[in-house]
Amino acid sequence: MTIESLATRPRSVAEAVAQATSHPNFDALVATICALRMPDGCPWDREQTHQSIAHNMIEEAYEAVDAIEKRDAGHLREELGDVLLQVVLQSQIATDEGLFTIDDVCADVNDKMIRRHPHVFGGESAANSADVKALWEDVKAQEAAGAGAEAPGLLDGVPSGFPALMQAQKISKKAAKAGFEWDTLDDIWAKVAEEMAELQAAYAAAPKSPKGAIVPEENPAAAEAVELELGDVLFTLVNVARRMGVNAEGALRATCVKFRERWAFIEGAAAGMGRAVEELGTDELNQLWDMAKHLG
């Protein structure tokens, strides 16, 4: 679909299904990647395996999210292309190994989307997002039962490769849904206080440098205890976020963005004074930080 055709895009499910069109640019991309993997194509592309470029999938996805958060449509268009490139290249590697093709990938996900939206493509009904989520989970359970697969562990569906905050929130959500949950938010805050006390005790017992950094070489077990206790504090705070209905990963990302903006202000102010940030004293840095906060 080109920019020019957006004005005539479908206005209903029936129209969308009836107006299904070919996507020549997608086919051209698939052909290009196939050519790059040919014996007379690109040496680098021919050498790649699923494993060798797996990290690229994560990096490109993060760059796309960054463009989304910056509301940069032009950059998002580029980054979505890079994400799609990873999908097509991984699929071509699988094709070369005789495993599956990009057409199989598209067919599988299309079938899944139709199955998991019976309120759109079937006879079910859903009045709101909660109903949709319930239907989605029901269909997933039916799919697993139909495949005859062993019932997965509760947390098996949470990829260990997720960012830690995202992983923690998904893990805690699943555990809470199974009944492993505090009665009130106040109970979770009490747990935060308990974990903080344990972290402080572990830190007090660990060997430290003059500046307060843990020295693992002197007592590895004590250093590990501090790390584990800090992890417990963070995990419990993620439960606070979940109970509040806040996305912990998104909240921390927003804070990182805010910090970047304020730090950029400090750097600009320092440059305006003809000085480097490193030359500013603590009081000066704090004053500039407060100015940045005041300015938004």
Per-domain residue ranges of the chain: 22-144, 164-246, 250-295
Q: CA 289 → CA 64, 172, 276, 279, distances in Å?
A: 30, 35, 15, 15
Helix residue spans in the chain (DSSP H)? 13-18, 24-36, 43-47, 54-69, 73-96, 102-115, 118-121, 129-146, 164-177, 185-205, 220-244, 248-272, 282-295
In this structure, CATH architecture of domain 22-144: Orthogonal Bundle (1.10)
Quick one: 2 exposed, middle or buried, by C-beta within 10 A (0-12, 13-18, 19+)? exposed
What value, to the nearest 5°, has the Cα angle with vertex 252 and ends 249 and 258? 140
Q: Is the dihedral of CA 193, 239, 172, 206 positive or negative?
A: negative
Paired strand residues for 160: none
Domain 164-246 CATH superfamily: MazG-like (1.10.287.1080)
Q: pLDDT band at 15, cuts 50/70/90?
A: confident
Do 22-144 and 164-246 fold alike per CATH?
yes
Q: What is the pLDDT of residue 169?
A: 96
Minimum mean pLDDT among 19-33, 36-50, 130-144, 203-217: which range? 130-144
207: left (phi over 0), alpha (psi -120 to 50) or beta: beta
Distance from C-alpha of 36 to C-alpha of 53, rounded to nearest angstrom:
15
Q: What is the pTM of this model?
A: 0.69
Minimum mean pLDDT among 113-122, 139-148, 168-177: which range? 139-148
